[in-house]
């Protein structure tokens, strides 16, 4: 019960056409999601397993992606730790980490993991509805990204509050990493083939701080689930990663559109390589999109099958709000036609 092209990418088996999935493929741009959102709150769509499955199924039905993604939110571990969470419409935590005394307010890991059981059930319901020819992945937020939200409640201002409160990182990241280990287990038990770690705030850290503080926690997660975790970071560069990171047993790594996918595929080979067409270009006119996508794909088409093995086609980041659905469909069709 999985997609052959995605399994080939995981195993780095050479193949003509890559599997396709996009971050935020189930979201605000999609009429299917908007229709559900008109009847249910965002929290209900995430926490009612049947509704989460229905949201996740929309992009599979309308765009024929090879992979479905658990519909949820990366901030739920913070809510589970007792920090409160509302959406109005964006996420608002009940309180933020501000001092060592804040850490004493966190729930125990055993209590917190119970509050994340709904994700396991959402994965199970999604897997039950998916065709046997489609794969299913889960996701969690990266420890640093969650720390950034826990300290300042948003991804803004160069993460000034997060960086001013780095003294809270060692203790909080230890608690959070242990919770994420259990959170990932829930999703795998529910039927996720791979769990992605999305670290959208990673690139706001300088490479030295990232390597000294964040990489050890990422490697702990990776080594707990060898071959089961993918990692995506935004705005990072080659300088953020060391050889230990590249050699770790990742299922694969995702990259934003600032990286050369051709170079990654032919030199780094870190499991699968996911990405990385600029998501903003999906707002072009139909004719302009065809030209831009052809230019993007040409260097990849020049690679032989062995050099291109492991590629999972997608965007540099998530699908943006107001992206024309017709362009999402065109992206899928053009990629498949180009590598038929």
Q: Which domains does the chain have, with CATH numbers?
A: 4-338 (3.20.20.210)
Taking the CB of residue 280, how many other CB atoms lie within 10 A of it? 13
pLDDT at 267: 87
Spatial neighbors of 212 by CB under 8 A, at least 6 apart, are none
Sorting pLDDT into bands at 50, 70 and 90, what band is 235? very high
Whether residue 269 has pLDDT greater than 80:
no
pLDDT at 311: 97
Sorting pLDDT into bands at 50, 70 and 90, what band is 154? confident
Give this prediction's pTM.
0.96
> Encoding tokens for residue 263?
């170079």
pLDDT at 158: 84
pLDDT at 27: 95
- Helix (H) or strand (E) holding 10, with range, is helix 4-11
Whether residue 156 has pLDDT greater than 80:
no
Sign for the pseudo-dihedral over CA of 233, 234, 238, 242: negative
Q: Report how far residue 331's alpha carbon sits from residue 190's, in angstroms, rounded to the nearest whole number.
A: 30
| Over residues 274-300, mean pLDDT | 98
Sign for the pseudo-dihedral over CA of 238, 241, 242, 247: negative
Sorting pLDDT into bands at 50, 70 and 90, what band is 157? confident
Instruction: For strands 85-87 and 91-93, give the pairing.
Output: antiparallel
Whether residue 67 has pLDDT greater than 80:
yes
pLDDT at 254: 97
What does the buried/exposed string (b/e) look like for 77-106 if buried means 16 or more CB atoms within 10 Å of the residue's CB?
bbbbbebebeeeeebebeeebeeeebeeeb
| Over residues 190-217, mean pLDDT | 97
pLDDT at 122: 98
pLDDT at 271: 87
> Encoding tokens for residue 119?
């994700």
| Over residues 57-64, mean pLDDT | 98
When mean pLDDT is compared across 46-60, 142-156, 196-210, the lowest value belongs to 142-156
The mean pLDDT of the chain is 96
| Over residues 65-91, mean pLDDT | 96
What does the buried/exposed string (b/e) look like for 238-257 if buried means 16 or more CB atoms within 10 Å of the residue's CB?
eebbeeebeebebbbbbbbb
Percent of the chain scored above 90 by pLDDT? Answer: 96
| Over residues 213-219, mean pLDDT | 98
pLDDT at 72: 98
Whether residue 328 has pLDDT greater than 90:
yes
């Amino acid at each position: 019960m999985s997609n052959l092209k995605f399994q080939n990418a995981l195993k780095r088996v050479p193949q003509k056409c890559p599997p396709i999935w996009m971050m935020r493929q189930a979201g605000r741009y999609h009429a299917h999601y908007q229709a559900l959102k008109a009847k249910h709150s965002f929290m209900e769509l995430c926490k009612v397993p049947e509704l989460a499955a229905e949201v996740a199924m929309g992009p599979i039905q309308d765009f024929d992606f090879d992979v479905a993604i658990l519909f949820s939110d990366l901030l739920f571990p913070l809510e589970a730790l007792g920090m409160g969470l509302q959406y109005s419409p964006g996420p608002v935590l009940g309180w933020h980490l501000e001092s060592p005394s804040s850490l004493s307010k966190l729930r125990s890991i055993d209590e917190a993991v119970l509050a994340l059981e709904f994700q396991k059930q959402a994965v199970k319901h999604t897997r039950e509805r998916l065709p046997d020819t489609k794969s299913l992945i889960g996701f969690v937020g990266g420890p640093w990204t969650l720390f950034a939200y826990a300290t300042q409640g948003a991804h803004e201002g160069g993460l000034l509050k997060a960086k001013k409160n780095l003294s809270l990182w060692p203790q909080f990241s230890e608690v959070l990493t242990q919770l994420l280990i259990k959170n990932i287990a829930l999703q795998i038990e529910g039927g996720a083939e791979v769990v992605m770690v999305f670290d959208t705030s990673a690139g706001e850290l300088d490479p030295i701080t990232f390597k000294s503080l964040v990489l050890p926690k990422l490697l702990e997660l990776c080594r707990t689930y060898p071959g089961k975790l993918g990692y995506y970071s935004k705005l990072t560069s080659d300088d953020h990663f060391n050889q230990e990171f590249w050699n770790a047993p990742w299922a694969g790594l995702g990259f934003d559109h600032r990286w050369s996918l051709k170079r990654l595929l032919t030199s780094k080979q870190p499991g699968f390589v996911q990405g990385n067409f600029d998501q903003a270009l999906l707002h072009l006119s139909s004719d302009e999109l065809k030209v831009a996508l052809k230019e993007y794909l040409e260097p990849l088409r020049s690679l032989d099958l062995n050099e291109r093995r492991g590629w999972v086609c997608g965007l540099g980041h998530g699908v943006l709000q107001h992206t024309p659905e017709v362009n999402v469909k065109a992206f899928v069709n053009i990629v498949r036609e180009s590598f038929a």
